[in-house]
Structure 1
Amino acid sequence: MRFKVWSHPIEISYSTTLLSKATLFYVVSSLLTVVPPLIIAYRSQGFWIKSATYSEQPDIHFKHTLIVILEKSDGTDLIWSSRESDLELEGDRVRIPVIRSREEDGNRDGVLDSLWLNLEMPMDGSEEITGVQALLLFDYKLKRFSYFEMTGLVYLTGQGSAGRSFQCSGDIQLIQRQPLSHRGRDSRYIESPLAGEPPLHLAEILRNYGARNISLRVENSYSVWRRGTGVENFVLELNLNYPSQTVEYIPGFWQTIKGGWIQYLSVLVVFIYLFNSIKTFVFSQQILPTIIETPWKQ
């Protein structure tokens, strides 16, 4: 009874002169081994990774900058702004509310998770509120790859028949028109979207903010408009969550090369096997004459 303990292949060499048909065949077959896989991998789309995504919970802080506009049934409105410059030009449209707010870190990881804000605007019995608009400013930071920071604007609106309160909850989400860099510091949008001289031009503010390549918006939102007349206060209540974001970014050099190399190698292995078989057949059958050298024939 025998069993194999070791084995190794016997190497057979095929030699020829530099200027010969066998040399030309070897060069051409070698080029056909390495070049077509590169073309196939590149033409199959996605060879170079132009963008990628990752998940990160942003560092968000409410800047305590708030503008609220209440629309009345008679076509006029009431306004309150945390910026004194806005209030100086609004005259009798200004109404001073009572505001309470807090930001919470529910899972105690050192990153804030949500904002609760309650605003009570004093009313007289004859006023009827049919619509509400609110603008809030936030500090927004991402740190995992590139250090990105901006001043983001959240715009909320609700309307209905004569109401006494508006409640809204949702998630603050990052809106991207272009990916971030994979490293460096990006603070191109650090300036406040509300920067500028009063009076307040809401349409222009929203138009300019919407033209940004990177902005914030409330998604997954749910709102309730409660009707009622003759109330003493109109109540605006907001619950905004700060969830993890899916961030698009431009990969660095090594990540790009890694993705392309894997695709190229997967096709190259097939071509190496195919052309090695062809070379073995051509030279072993002496279709192209060469000098054969074996271990037992030196």
Structure 2
Amino acid sequence: MAGVELFSHPALHTRYRAGLCSAAALALLLIAVLTYVPPLLVAYRSHGFWLKQSAYREQPTVRFRYEVLFVATTGPGPGSFLAWSTFPAFNRLQEDRLRVPLLSVGVPGGAGGDAGRVGGARERAAGCAPLPSRSSSLVPNFAPHGTTLSGQTREEDKNQDGKMDQLHFKLELPLQPTEHVVGVQLILIFSYQLYRMSTLVMQSMAFLQFFSPVPGSQLYMNGDLKLNQRQLLNHCGLDTRYNVSVVNGTSPFAADYDLTNIIAAYRDRNVTTVFSDPNPVWMTGRAADTPFIINATIRYPEEVILYQPGFWEIIKFAWIQYVSILLIFLWVFGWIKMFVFQNQVFTTTPISPVLPLSPVLSYKQHQS
């Protein structure tokens, strides 16, 4: 029999045959194109067909590196400030404006709070070295004129999941009776890591700043160390582009410690952290023999991480959209094909199957 089978349907119990170049074959080809191509166009034109970015939530692994740069403004003049950092080269540049710290690392439970003061006799009068490990006491240092900067800080894992949740930071700046603090600028440097998709390892910072026309006795801040992305992270691999020091602590040049230059270079990064929602509280009324105090709580919240999806994630997302629309077109054009061939809109050769007679019908025919 000439031709090929073009269409059959169980409900019709009939097969339809025609030549490959017949009108019926061309109509079937047109119906197939209208069935499979428009769903693709609809899915694409409705936007979001190709997944360009995706997101997930992760609690970052954050640790305070115990690297600090501190500037306290004491007046309107260009040289009216006191400064100190954990970078010896910076301290050497400050000369008589340096207040070298008497510091200690506090541990949860209150132990170690006075460790720095106990070791005061082991000071080095020529500036301070970088802070040691998180669990050890800091070697205190005194300025040549005897004034000190003391502080206590600790990190806390509140939910006991193995990741630190917040940092408690405290500084006490002893002042001369004639000195008054009207502004504070403080840089704290952290190690920031993500692991769930791609592995991101970087050094980041929190910048705390506040100024007041009224001299203060204490500054309190409580905020979040938030991740700021100007670029999507990769979906896999290791990213260590920004695992470099925020402050070039070995440079002998004052320009490398200028806050404007530090922040400008830091903001050139595509991935940074910022100290957000600090809620500053500026307290006034300091007695002549009391220090100026900075109390800060910096929380490490769970973050929504934006990343570039991989190939298979893009295909999976696109396939779901395409198939969901395709099912509707398959149902509609299935009925159209059935109508076209059943009503012989285009000439075909219908072939109906020869059904065997049932035993009852055969018996009645025999009796007649």
Q: Which TM-score tier does this pair reach, normalised by the shorter chain?
A: over 0.9
Match of 1:33 in 2: 35
Are residues 1:194 and 2:270 paired?
A: no
Identity of aligned residues (%): 36
Larger Rg: 2
1:281 is the counterpart of 2:349: no
Q: Which residue of 1 aligns with 2:53?
A: 51
| Separation (CA, whole Å) in 1 of partners of 2:352 and 2:311 | 46
Q: SS of 1:188's equivalent?
A: coil
- The answer on whether the counterparts of 1:149 and 1:186 sit within 8 Å (CA) in structure 2 is yes
Quick one: distance in 1 between partners of 2:238 and 2:14? 59
Pairing of 1:10-25 with structure 2 (within 5 A) = 11-25=13-27
- Once the two structures are superposed, what CA deviation does each residue of 1:83-115 show, in whole Å capped at 9, x if it has no partner? 111101110110121121110111111111110
Q: Hey, which of these two has a bigger chunk of strand by percent?
A: 1
Residue 70 of structure 2 is aligned to residue 68 of structure 1: yes
Check the 8 A contact 1:164/1:231 in 2, yes or no. Answer: no
Larger relative contact order (CA 8 Å, sep ≥ 6): 1
Q: Distance in 1 between matches of 2:270 and 2:231?
A: 6
**Pairwise CA distance, 1:146:** 0.2
RMSD: 1.5
Match of 1:185 among 238, 246, 261: 238
Task: List runs of 5+ in structure 2 lacking aligned partners.
Answer: 1-9, 101-148, 357-368
Q: Which whole-Å CA distance do the structure 1 matches of 2:25 and 2:228 have between them?
A: 59
Which residue matches 1:83? Answer: 87
Aligned AA for 1:107? N
Q: 3-state DSSP class of the match of 2:159?
A: coil
- Structure 1 residue 11: deviation in Å? 3.5
1:224, distance to aligned residue in structure 2 (A): 0.6
Query: Any conservation in 2 of the 1:10–1:295 contact (CA below 8 Å)?
Result: no
Distance between the aligned counterparts of 1:231 and 1:264, measured in 2?
Answer: 74
In the alignment, which of 188, 193, 198 is matched to residue 146 of structure 1? 198
Identify the residue that residue 156 of structure 1 maps to in structure 2.
Answer: 208
Unaligned runs of 5+ in 1: 1-7
Indicate the residue corresponding to 1:173 in structure 2. Answer: 226
- 2:304 — aligned with what? 246
Aligned match of 2:285: 228
Shift, 1:158, TM fit: 1.0
- Size of the aligned set, in residue pairs, is 291
Offset of residue 295 of structure 1: 2.6
Contact 1:117 1:238 in 2 (8 A): yes
C-alpha displacement at 1:74, in angstroms? 4.7
Cα offset, 1:297, TM superposition: 6.6
Output one character per residue of 1:58-77: Cα deviation in whole Å (capped at 9) or x when no partner.
00000000011000125200
Matching residue of 2:182 = 130
Equivalents in 1 of 2:305, 2:13: separation in Å? 54
Give the whole-Å Cα distance in 2 for the aligned partners of 1:221 and 1:16: 78
- In 2: Cα distance, 1:117 partner to 1:249 partner: 32
TM-score between both structures, scaled by the size of structure 1: 0.94
Q: CA deviation at 1:9?
A: 4.3
Cα distance in 2, alignment partners of residues 168 and 11 from structure 1: 80
Q: Which amino acid aligns with 2:32?
A: S
1:205 maps onto 2:262 in alignment: yes
TM-superposed deviation, 1:129: 0.6
- In the alignment, the residues of structure 1 paired with residue 47 and residue 191 of structure 2 have an alpha-carbon distance, to the nearest angstrom, of 38
Task: Determine the C-alpha separation between the residues in 1 that align with 2:303 and 2:209.
Answer: 23
Q: SS in structure 1 opposite 2:313?
A: helix
Secondary structure of 2:319 counterpart? helix
Alpha-carbon separation, structure 2, partners of 1:288 and 1:10: 17
